[in-house]
């Protein structure tokens, strides 16, 4: 009777043996490391040939220790912790840029609309002195500051993506496919940004998640790149594109409001109400965008710190 092969790391039975990795602990089985007791069927089998391009041999330990393959850098724990702290500062800078470049101009525009309402109520529509209008409308510099802040925020986001994805190479994870440089740069390439950056981010998230897989019984799973489907990155990508679309919609609405004809005082009050609703919607949009960025990236950084702690634990 032939005994079914099993994983040498966690001893899980593997019916058929057709697995790239153990479903329970993630141990790499592509090197042909399945184990099974000697039987008559194996004794009569022909010679077994190794694959022409073997994958890196991972030294998972069957005795249940938390030792990772020696290919991982010895300073991986400190690298992960340092990078997580650095990326958190970059995320803080990104959130600050988003908040300043949107909240400050929006709040000023809200105040300006309220001030115009007061001036029209005081002097009547079309009779507001020009010097009062000029005194209220002194925020041209905010447009320049907003554009500059948006540019700085975009640069910070690219640096954040590069530094976070680069950490896998820095600690020596084998089997990586997507380079951090292309993951970052592809954001600036039309059409390519629809796909390429997100598979790189997904590899980062899935690799960290795989190494912290709780199904391995508290042990660290073998350190190897993983590119299986990841829901967090998919949701992040979908929301990111929705933000881009919403930003275009807000721009179109703003241009329509700027070119709107105001024939009388009643129309003016309706116009001001429309501006105030637009500003409130814009502020809500930015809050959701900041919340989305913060949730996704903080989960990545938490995984880095958790992995750093486990690597540092004897």
Hey, where are the domains in the chain?
1-55, 76-312
| Cα 168 to Cα 201: distance, rounded to the nearest angstrom | 11
Question: What's the rounded mean pLDDT across residues 167-174?
Answer: 92
Q: Is 149 helix (H, G, I), strand (E, B) or coil?
A: helix
Q: Residue 30 and residue 55: Cα distance in Å, rounded?
A: 7
Exposure string (b/e) for 138-167, b if CB count within 10 Å is 16 or more? Answer: eeeebeeebeebeebbeebbbbbbbbbbbb
Strongest mean pLDDT among 43-57, 102-116, 239-253 = 239-253
Position with higher pLDDT, 179 vs 25: 179
Distance CA 180, CA 185 (A): 9
pLDDT at 87: 97
- The reported pLDDT for the residue numbered 41 is 35
Average pLDDT of the chain?
Answer: 79
- Residues of the chain above pLDDT 90, percent: 40
Instruction: Evaluate whether 215 touches 24 at the Cβ level (below 8 Å).
Output: yes
pTM above 0.85, yes or no: no
Q: pLDDT for 282-313, tens place per residue? A: 899 999 999 999 999 999 999 999 999 988 87
* CA separation for the pair 102, 279 (Å, rounded): 10
Exposed/middle/buried for residue 304 (C-beta within 10 Å: 0-12, 13-18, 19+): buried
Q: Which residues contact 189 (CB under 8 A, 6 or more apart)?
A: 196
Mean pLDDT, rounded, for 81-99: 95
Q: Are the CB atoms for 79 and 167 separated by under 8 Å?
A: yes
Check residue 185 and give its pLDDT: 94
CA–CA distance, 274 with 282 (Å, rounded to integer): 12
pLDDT for res 4 = 60
Q: Which of helix, strand or coil describes residue 239?
A: helix
Q: Counting beta carbons within 10 angstroms of the beta carbon of residue 308, is it exposed (0 to 12), middle (13 to 18) or buried (19 or more)? A: buried
Through-space distance between the first and last CA atoms of the chain, rounded to whole angstroms: 42
> Angle at which helices 196-211 and 265-312 pack, to 10 degrees?
40
- Name which residue leads in pLDDT, 273 or 136: 273
Helix and strand element counts for the chain (H, E) = 8, 0
pLDDT in tens, 29-76: 664 444 433 333 333 333 344 333 333 333 333 334 444 444 476 789
Mean pLDDT of 219-227: 80
The CA distance from 132 to 122, in Å, is: 11
Q: Taking a C-beta distance cutoff of 8 angstroms, is the pair 311, 220 a contact?
A: yes
pLDDT at position 57: 38
Quick one: pLDDT at residue 81?
A: 94
Q: Work out the pLDDT band at 129, boundaries 50, 70, 90.
A: confident
| CA–CA gap between residue 306 and residue 77 (Å, rounded) | 10
């Amino acid at each position: 009777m032939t005994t079914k092969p099993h994983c040498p790391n966690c001893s899980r039975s593997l019916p058929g043996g057709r697995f790239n990795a153990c479903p329970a602990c993630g141990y790499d089985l592509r090197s042909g490391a399945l184990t099974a007791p000697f039987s008559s069927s194996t004794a009569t089998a022909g010679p077994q040939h190794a694959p022409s391009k073997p994958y890196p041999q991972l030294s998972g330990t069957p005795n249940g220790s938390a030792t990772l393959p020696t290919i991982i850098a010895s300073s991986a724990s400190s690298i992960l912790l340092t990078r997580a702290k650095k990326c958190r500062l970059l995320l803080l800078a990104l959130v600050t840029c988003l908040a300043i470049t949107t909240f400050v101009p929006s709040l000023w525009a809200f105040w300006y609309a309220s001030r115009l309402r007061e001036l029209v109520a005081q002097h009547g529509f079309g009779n507001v002195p020009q010097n009062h209008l000029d005194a209220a409308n002194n925020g041209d510099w905010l447009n320049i500051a907003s554009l500059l802040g948006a540019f700085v925020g975009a640069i910070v986001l690219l640096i954040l993506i590069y530094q976070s994805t680069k950490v896998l190479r820095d600690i020596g994870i084998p089997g990586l496919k997507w380079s951090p440089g292309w993951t970052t740069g592809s954001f600036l390439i039309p059409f390519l940004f629809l796909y390429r950056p997100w598979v790189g981010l997904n590899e980062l998230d899935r690799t960290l998640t795989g190494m912290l897989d709780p199904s391995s019984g508290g042990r660290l799973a073998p350190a190897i790149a993983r590119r299986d489907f990841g829901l967090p990155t998919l949701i992040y990508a979908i929301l990111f594109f929705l933000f881009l679309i919403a930003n275009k919609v807000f721009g179109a609405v703003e241009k329509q409001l700027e070119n709107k004809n105001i024939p009388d005082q009643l129309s003016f009050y309706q116009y001001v109400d429309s501006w105030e609703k637009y500003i409130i919607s814009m502020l809500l949009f930015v809050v959701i965008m900041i919340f989305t960025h913060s949730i996704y990236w903080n989960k990545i950084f938490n995984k880095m710190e958790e992995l750093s702690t486990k690597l540092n634990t004897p």
